[in-house]
A and B are shown apart, each in its own frame.
Chain A
Amino acid sequence: MSNSTSDGAFVPAAGAVALHISPARRGWRRFRRNPLGFWSLVLFCAMVVVSLSAEVVSNDRPLVVRYEGTFYFPIVKDYSEQTFGGDFPTPADYLDPFIRGRITAGGNWAIYALNPYGPKTLNYFAKSPSPAAPTRDNWFGTDDRGRDLLAQLIYGFRVSVLFGLALTVIGTALGILAGAVQGYFAGKTDLVMQRLIEVWSAMPALYLLIIFSAIFAPSIALLLILLSVFGWMDLADYVRAEFLRNRQMDYVRAARALGVSNLQIMWRHILPNSMTPVVTFLPFRMSGSILALTSLDFLGLGVPPGTPSLGELLSQGKNNIDAWWISLATFLVLVMTLLLLTFMGDALRDAMDPRKAD
C-alpha cells in the first residue's frame, strides 16, 4: 500500500452545513419556506382534526351528566328518558326543555358539546320554522328540515375529507402500480396496457354512475369503488413516463448488473426517484375527489339520503334560494377547503421542482 496515496488526497467537502439531508427532507424544507403553503397545511390539518372529533364538538347529547350523585356519559351510551325522571322508556332527548331542566337543576349538571346538535338532530323545540336564519341557538341557522347547519357542515366536511383521502390513496396506488408496470417493462407490455387504458378511459363514467345508482342501493363504498375504478389513469401516465426515463439511468443498469431482481429495482431504485409527480399531484387529486363527491351529491347520485354532505346542502341552498345562509356557509366551507388544498399543491410543486435550488 506504499503507493496508495498516489491516487490523490482530496479535500473534505467544504461547508459542512447541509450534511446527510435526504432529498425528501430538502423538499420538506423548501415547502416550509413557503408561508402560504405551510400555513394552508396547518389550517387544513386543524380543520381535519376538528372534524374528526366532531362528536365532541357538535353533538346533541351532553358529554358528561352528573345526575343525583351518579355520572352518566350520554355521548357513548344510550340512556332512556326514565333515567332522568321522564315518563317514557324512549332514548332521552337532551334538547327537551324538561330533560334539560332535570339534569341541570339542583346539584345536577351536564356538559354539552360546543354546538349542541348532531348531524341528524331535529330540534322539536325550535322557536322559528325551518329553514331558520342564524340565531343564538343555531349559529349558522338550520336547513329546510330543521337540522342545525353548523353540525351539517362539520360532519359533511368530515365525510368529504375522508372520502377524498380514501379516493386519493386508492387512485394513487392503482396509478403507481399501472404506471410502474408499463414504464418498467415497456415494449409490448406497455403497448397493450396503454391500449387497454385508452379503452377504459373512453367509458362514460358519469352515465355508469347514474346506472349503478339506479341498480344498487346508494352507499359510500359503492361510490368509492366506482370513482376509484375510473380515477387512476391520469396519474398512471405520469408514473409511466417517470419509469420510462428512470429505467434508462445508469444506477438502474448498475443494479441490474449486480443482479438485483426486477421487483427490487422498481421498489428501491426507480420508485423513490419517480415520486415527484405523485406527491405534487396529491393535494390536487384530493381537491378533485372532494369536488367529485360534492357534485354527485348535488345531483342526488352520491351518498345515501340522511348522510351529512356538502353537495346535498348546496342542493338545498338552490331549492331554498331565500335561505341565503345555507348556500353561503356551504359555499364558503367548500371554497376554503379547495383553496387550502390548491395552495398546498402549489407550494409542494415548487418544493419538488428540481430546478429550484435550496
Chain B
Amino acid sequence: MATPLLDVQNLRISFAGKPVVHGIDFSIAPGEKLSLVGESGSGKTVTALSLLRLAQNATVSGKAVFTGVNAAERTASGSPPRAPVELLSLPEQSLRGIRGRDIAMIFQEPMTALNPLFSVGNQIAEVVQLKQGLAQAESWQAAIKLLADTGITEPERRANSFPHQLSGGQRQRAMIAMALACQPRLLLADEPTTALDVTLRGQILDLLGELQQRNGMAVLLITHDLNLVRKFADRVAVMENGHIVEQGAVAEIFGRPQHPYTRKLIDSKPQRDGLAGAQASAGPEDVAPMMRAERLRVAYPVSIPGIRGWFKKAEFVAVKGASFHIPPGRTLGVIGESGSGKSTLALASLGLLPFSGQLQAAGQAWSREAARNKAIRRAVQVVFQDPFSSLSPRMTVEAIVEEGLTVHEPKLAPAERRERALQALADVGMTDAQFPGLLQRYPHEFSGGQRQRLAIARALIVNPSLLVLDEPTSALDVTIQKQVLALLQRLQRERGLSYLLITHDVDVIRAMAHEVMVMKDGDVLESGSLSDVLDTPQHPYTRVLVTAA
C-alpha cells in the first residue's frame, strides 16, 4: 500500500516549556509491526500517548495523519474509506470516536489499567456497547468471544472475574481483548510485557502477533527490550533523548547498526568479565563456605477468612527447604519468577526474616539477639533492586555511605570516616572530581545507575565478605545494567567477595553466576554449576526459562 496508515511528521512534545521529543518522523503501513525502542526517558511512551492526545499537560506540535477506516464499519455500511485525519488538530469529540475504535492502546501494568470495581467481562462489554452500539446481552457474548480469542481458559467464568482475581498474564490478555474489541486498525502497545514474568512474555507476544495477523492491524510496539523487537517487529525505530536516531527493517538494524547509540544498545547484553573466571579456580570444596544453608524454610502467617481466622492463623510457606552454600569469591545465582520466594530467601539470608532450618554466614549462625549479630551484619551486606527507594531521600551521600562505620567502627574520627567514605565511593567509580561536592549531595541528584553505585558503596564500606544482590540491575536501563554488572564483577575479582545474586534474568545469571539455583513457588527445582543448569537443564521449567530468554 502506498499510503501509510499513520504518518507522523516533525512531532514535537514539551512539558512546561521543556522539550522531550524533538521533531521525530515515522510512519506505519497498514498491517505493519513497528517497534519504537529506547531507554527510559527517551520519550517513547509520551510519543504514543500524544498520538491520541492522552499526554497530560503536554504541548504537542507537528502532524500525525491517520488514514484508517474501521474494518467493522466498512463491511457494515459499505461506505468509502474515510478521508485522512490529522490526529493532533482534530476536535476532541471526533478524536474520542477514534480512540478505542480505530486506534487502541494497551499499557504496561494491566492491574492499574483495569478498573478494580468491575468484572473484566463488564469492562470489555462496555467498550463493545459504546463503540459498536450492541445491546447488553449481545455485548456480553461479544466480550466472552473476545476473551476466548486471547486464549484465556474458561472465558465464560473469567468474564465474571474481577481484575484482582486474575493472574498477571490473564489480566494482560483481558486488556488485549478490550483493546481489540472494535478491531482497531492500529494498536499502540506500551511495554505490554514488561510487568510480566519471562515465561509469560513469549506467550503474550505470540498472542499479539497472531491477533495482528488475523485482524490485519498495525502495531506500534513500545519497548526497551531488544529481544522482543527482534522476535516481533518488522521495522524498528531507535529513540534516544527525544530523537529517532535510526530506523529501518529489523534485520538491517540488528545486522548493520549505523548509529553509535544503536550499536551500544545491541551490545548491551550483560557479559562475563574475562578475568573473573581464571581467579576463582580454587575448588569450592577446599575452603569453608561464606554462607551455608540447610533446609532453610521461611513462612509468613496469613489470616484465615471467616470466624476460624479469629482464633488461628494459617501459614504461607515462601521458601520450602532450600539448601545451598556459597564459597568465598563465588556467585550463587538464584533465578525464579515473581512469587518464587527468591526475594524472601534474600531477606532471610540477611537475618531480616524469621526462618527455620540452618543458616550460617561467615561461620556464624543468625541469632535472635541483635547484639550477637553484629559481626555477621558486618560480613553480610545487601544491594536492593530499586535505586530510588534504597537511599533515604533526606540524607546526604556522606550520611548514607558512612552509616555502616558509625555502627561498626564508632570510634573512628570524623575525618577518617570521611576518608573511608571517599575511598568506598572511588571503588564504585564515583569521585569528587566527577561530582563536585559529592559527599554533600542528595540522592535525587543522581541517576538510577549512579544511585545503585552509591548503594554498593554503602555496603562495601564495612568490608563485607558476602553481598546479597537482590535484583541489582532489573530497574536499570540495559546499557547501565551492563556497567553495573561489570563493576560488580570487578569488585568480586579485586576483593574476593561472594555474591548471592537474586534475579529473574537469565542473561544476568549467565554473565555473573558460578552456581545456579532455580526456584519456583518456594521450591528449589534444580541447582548446580552454571553450565550444568543452563546448558543441560533437567527440569522442564528451567528449559522454558532458558528458551524464553
* Chain A residues engaging chain B, CB cutoff 8 angstroms: 3-4, 6-8, 10, 12-13, 16, 18-24, 249-251, 253-261, 268-269, 272-273, 357
Q: B378, B394, B447: which has the most chain A beta carbons within 10 Å?
A: B394
Given contacts A7-B487, A261-B370, A268-B395, contact A251 B444 (CB under 8 A): no
Q: Which of B373, B393, B441, B447 contacts A20 (CB 8 A)?
A: B441
Residues of A within 8 A of B468 (CB): 257
Q: Roughly how many angstroms separate A13 CA and B442 CA in the complex, as a whole number?
A: 13
Residues 453-481 of chain B: 1 if any A CB is under 8 Å from the residue's CB, otherwise 0? 00100110010000010000000000000
Q: Which of B374, B407, B462, B490 contacts A6 (CB 8 A)?
A: B490
Residue of B nearest to A357 (CB): B16
Residues of B within 8 A of A20 (CB): 437, 440-442, 445
Residues of A within 8 A of B370 (CB): 259, 261
Q: Are B382 and A21 in contact, CB atoms less than 8 angstroms apart?
A: no
Residue of B nearest to A16 (CB): B436
Q: Which of A6, A24, A254, A256 contacts B486 (CB 8 A)?
A: A6
**29 chain-A/chain-B pairs, Cβ below 8 angstroms:** A3-B490, A6-B490, A8-B429, A8-B486, A10-B434, A12-B435, A13-B445, A19-B437, A20-B437, A20-B440, A20-B441, A22-B442, A23-B442, A249-B389, A249-B392, A250-B384, A253-B347, A254-B382, A254-B455, A254-B458, A256-B352, A257-B382, A258-B381, A258-B458, A261-B370, A269-B392, A272-B392, A272-B395, A273-B393
Residues of B within 8 A of A250 (CB): 384-386, 389-390
Residues of B within 8 A of A357 (CB): 16
Q: Roughly how many angstroms separate A261 CA and B403 CA in the complex, as a whole number?
A: 11
Verify if B450 is at the interface (C-beta below 8 Å from A).
yes
Q: Roughly how many angstroms separate A23 CA and B392 CA in the complex, as a whole number?
A: 11
Q: Are B434 and A12 in contact, CB atoms less than 8 angstroms apart?
A: yes
Residues of B within 8 A of A18 (CB): 445
Residues of A within 8 A of B352 (CB): 253, 256-257
Question: What 4 A-B pairs are tightest by C-beta distance, nearest first?
Answer: A8-B483, A259-B377, A250-B390, A7-B486
Report the minimum CB–CB distance from B431 to chain A (whole Å). 10
Residues of B within 8 A of A21 (CB): 442
Q: Roughly how many angstroms separate A12 CA and B432 CA in the complex, as a whole number?
A: 11
Within 8 A of A (CB), among B397-417: 399, 403-404, 407-408
Report the minimum CB–CB distance from B447 to chain A (whole Å). 8
Q: Roughly how many angstroms separate A268 CA and B400 CA in the complex, as a whole number?
A: 10
Residue of B nearest to A252 (CB): B392
Q: Are B403 and A253 in contact, CB atoms less than 8 angstroms apart?
A: no
Residues of A within 8 A of B350 (CB): 253, 256-257
Report the minimum CB–CB distance from B346 to chain A (whole Å). 10
Report the minimum CB–CB distance from B138 to chain A (whole Å). 42
Verify if B391 is at the interface (C-beta below 8 Å from A).
yes
Q: Roughly how many angstroms separate A212 CA and B407 CA in the complex, as a whole number?
A: 49
Residues of A within 8 A of B394 (CB): 22-24, 272-273
Q: Roughly how many angstroms separate A3 CA and B459 CA in the complex, as a whole number?
A: 22
Q: Are B381 and A257 in contact, CB atoms less than 8 angstroms apart?
A: yes
Q: Roughly how many angstroms separate A233 CA and B483 CA in the complex, as a whole number?
A: 49
Verify if B275 is at the interface (C-beta below 8 Å from A).
yes
Verify if B151 is at the interface (C-beta below 8 Å from A).
no
Q: Are A23 and B389 in contact, CB atoms less than 8 angstroms apart?
A: no
Q: A3, A253, A254: which has the most chain B beta carbons within 10 Å?
A: A254
Q: Roughly how many angstroms separate A52 CA and B285 CA in the complex, as a whole number?
A: 78
Verify if B34 is at the interface (C-beta below 8 Å from A).
no
Report the minimum CB–CB distance from B216 to chain A (whole Å). 42
Q: Roughly how many angstroms separate A4 CA and B491 CA in the complex, as a whole number?
A: 9
16 more contacts with CB within 8 A, not counting A257-B382, A259-B374, are A3-B275, A6-B273, A8-B483, A8-B487, A13-B445, A13-B446, A20-B437, A23-B393, A23-B442, A253-B382, A254-B458, A258-B408, A259-B407, A260-B407, A268-B395, A273-B392
Verify if B484 is at the interface (C-beta below 8 Å from A).
yes
Residue of A nearest to B446 (CB): A13
Report the minimum CB–CB distance from A204 to chain B (whole Å). 31
Q: Are B441 and A253 in contact, CB atoms less than 8 angstroms apart?
A: no
Q: Roughly how many angstroms separate A13 CA and B399 CA in the complex, as a whole number?
A: 20
Q: Roughly how many angstroms separate A7 CA and B430 CA in the complex, as a whole number?
A: 12
Q: A12, A249, A251, A261: which has the most chain B beta carbons within 10 Å?
A: A251
Q: Roughly how many angstroms separate A254 CA and B429 CA in the complex, as a whole number?
A: 21
Residues of B within 8 A of A268 (CB): 395, 399, 403
Report the minimum CB–CB distance from A358 to chain B (whole Å). 11
Report the minimum CB–CB distance from B210 to chain A (whole Å). 39
Report the minimum CB–CB distance from B410 to chain A (whole Å). 11
Report the minimum CB–CB distance from B483 to chain A (whole Å). 4
Q: A259, A269, A272: which has the most chain B beta carbons within 10 Å?
A: A259
Residues of A within 8 A of B384 (CB): 250, 253-254
Q: Roughly how many angstroms separate A249 CA and B443 CA in the complex, as a whole number?
A: 15
Residues of B within 8 A of A254 (CB): 382, 384, 390, 455, 458-459
Residues of B within 8 A of A272 (CB): 392, 394-395
Q: Roughly how many angstroms separate A13 CA and B449 CA in the complex, as a whole number?
A: 12
Q: Roughly how many angstroms separate A22 CA and B400 CA in the complex, as a whole number?
A: 14
Report the minimum CB–CB distance from A357 to chain B (whole Å). 8
Q: Are A23 and B455 in contact, CB atoms less than 8 angstroms apart?
A: no
Q: Are B449 and A7 in contact, CB atoms less than 8 angstroms apart?
A: no
Verify if B380 is at the interface (C-beta below 8 Å from A).
yes
Residue of B nearest to A271 (CB): B394
Q: Are B407 and A258 in contact, CB atoms less than 8 angstroms apart?
A: yes
Report the minimum CB–CB distance from A22 to chain B (whole Å). 6
Q: Roughly how many angstroms separate A16 CA and B438 CA in the complex, as a whole number?
A: 12
Report the minimum CB–CB distance from B542 to chain A (whole Å). 29
Given contacts A7-B490, A8-B429, contact A257 B403 (CB under 8 A): no
Report the minimum CB–CB distance from B381 to chain A (whole Å). 6
Residue of B nearest to A260 (CB): B407
Report the minimum CB–CB distance from A336 to chain B (whole Å). 35
Residues 103-120 of chain B: 1 if any A CB is under 8 Å from the residue's CB, otherwise 0? 000000000000000000
Given contacts A258-B403, A259-B378, A260-B403, contact A7 B483 (CB under 8 A): yes
Residues of A within 8 A of B407 (CB): 258-260
Within 8 A of A (CB), among B242-284: 273, 275
Q: Roughly how many angstroms separate A23 CA and B391 CA in the complex, as a whole number?
A: 13
Residues of B within 8 A of A23 (CB): 393-394, 442, 444
Residues of A within 8 A of B380 (CB): 257
Report the minimum CB–CB distance from A156 to chain B (whole Å). 39
Residue of B nearest to A24 (CB): B394
Within 8 A of A (CB), among B277-299: none
Q: Roughly how many angstroms separate A3 CA and B493 CA in the complex, as a whole number?
A: 11
Residue of A nearest to B468 (CB): A257
Report the minimum CB–CB distance from A171 to chain B (whole Å). 23
Report the minimum CB–CB distance from B358 to chain A (whole Å). 20
